[in-house]
Structure 1
Amino acid sequence: MMSHRYQRHHEHHNSHRLGWLRASVLGANDGIVSVSSLVLGVAAGQADAKSVMLAGIAGLVAGALSMAAGEYVSVSSQSDTERADLEMEQREIEAHPEAEHAELKGIYIERGLDEPLAAQVASALMAHDALGAHARDELGLSDNTAARPLQAALASAASFVVGAAVPLIVVLVVSRAAVLPAVSISVLLALMVLGALSARAGGAPMLKSVARVTLWGAIAMGVTSVAGLLFGVAV
């Protein structure tokens, strides 16, 4: 007698990367754009090489700490809200199981199941993991999308430092007279690479991602450079 075994069909999805990918792309983009804009603004204001480098290093340190703190506070608030919703849902399940069953059944009916099947599915899922079923289907929460404050903070700070290092390295290796064109070109190339990498990691269209990241980075650098030229001071 041949035994039949369940074989899972494996598919490659990217949703499990959403937390750290969002923070990493945001951090790297902010590091590249903010520090390069700062360097270009200071350089356009006719500051010497030492002042340009000092401004860039200060921007790197302050930006990395700011990104880490901002991400941690923001994602912690999200995590607190998710936890509060889950605790409230658990109390409702314990106090009013019939009403929660009816609520879950209604969700499945709206998704296309007939009433008997929806009731059967709701009963089976609540018997297996009532809170998990309500978290996923009523609240839209899952392990893949759960807020992770520390992960987001570390990913954001580390990627900010990597991004900010691009214009600083250029400032170190080129002459003072070549800072403006060298930083501009290198940063635009870095933004294109960042857009391509983020698109690849997230399974998104590459051309659209590259264009979006590069365009807004170029606008930020252009505005800051013009400000430095107009005021003739470090900005």
Structure 2
Amino acid sequence: MSRPPGRGVAAGEYVSVSSQADVERADVERERAELTARPEAELAELKGIWMARGLDAELAGRVAAQLTQADALGAHAGGAPRLRAAGRVLLWGVIAMAATGAIGRLVGMSV
């Protein structure tokens, strides 16, 4: 009994993408806990990130404070953009798996 072409590749890709999504969710939850437990340290960390990107200390502090006030989790963990990125990876992973299976069927081999 032969297995459908690409099934192993598809399963591997699914596991990989699912693992990445799990890591992203865990990172967001960890950041949420840190913001609750030590908000001043998290603000200082964000200020340091902006300083490393080239802002002077005063402006970096203002940017960090304003971003934190508007959306603390989004500013510190990437928030929704990271989750959307994981969704894009999942979508394109599924498309790649389908294409791999279709190519395998066309040429009659397991890819």
TM-score, with structure 2 as normaliser: 0.80
Question: Take 1:105 and 1:154, find their aligned partners in 2: how far apart are those partners?
Answer: 38
Offset of residue 67 of structure 1: 2.0
**Alignment of structure 1 residues 154-165 onto 2, 5 Å:** 154-165=94-105
State the one-letter code of the partner of 2:41. A
Q: 1:101 aligns with which of 30, 43, 50?
A: 43
Give the structure 2 partner of residue 124 of structure 1: 66
Q: Write out per-residue CA displacement over residues 34-72 of structure 1, whole angstroms, 9 at most, x where no aligned residue.
A: xxxxxxxxxxxxxxxxxxxxxxxx46x1x3221221111
Offset of residue 107 of structure 1: 0.4
Question: Take 2:54 and 2:99, find their aligned partners in 1: how far apart are those partners?
Answer: 43
SS of 1:146's partner is helix
Offset of residue 92 of structure 1: 0.5
Question: Take 2:45 and 2:32, find their aligned partners in 1: how far apart are those partners?
Answer: 14
Asked if 1 retains the 8 angstrom alpha-carbon contact of 2:67 and 2:75, the reply is yes
SS of 2:85's partner is coil
Give the structure 2 partner of residue 218 of structure 1: none
Question: Take 1:128 and 1:72, find their aligned partners in 2: how far apart are those partners?
Answer: 35
Q: Write out per-residue CA displacement over residues 143-185 of structure 1, whole angstroms, 9 at most, x where no aligned residue.
A: 45325675355323310122124324xxxxxxxxxxxxxxxxx
Give the structure 2 partner of residue 86 of structure 1: 28
Q: 2:17 aligned with 1:70, yes or no?
A: no
Give the structure 2 partner of residue 190 of structure 1: none
State the one-letter code of the partner of 1:161. G
- How well do the aligned residues superpose, as a CA RMSD in angstroms? 2.4
Asked if 2 retains the 8 angstrom alpha-carbon contact of 1:75 and 1:152, the reply is no
Q: Write out per-residue CA displacement over residues 73-99 of structure 1, whole angstroms, 9 at most, x where no aligned residue.
A: 111111111111110110000111110
TM-score, with structure 1 as normaliser: 0.40
Give the structure 1 partner of residue 85 of structure 2: 145
**Where do 4+ consecutive residues of structure 1 move more than 4 Å?**
147-150
Offset of residue 116 of structure 1: 0.7
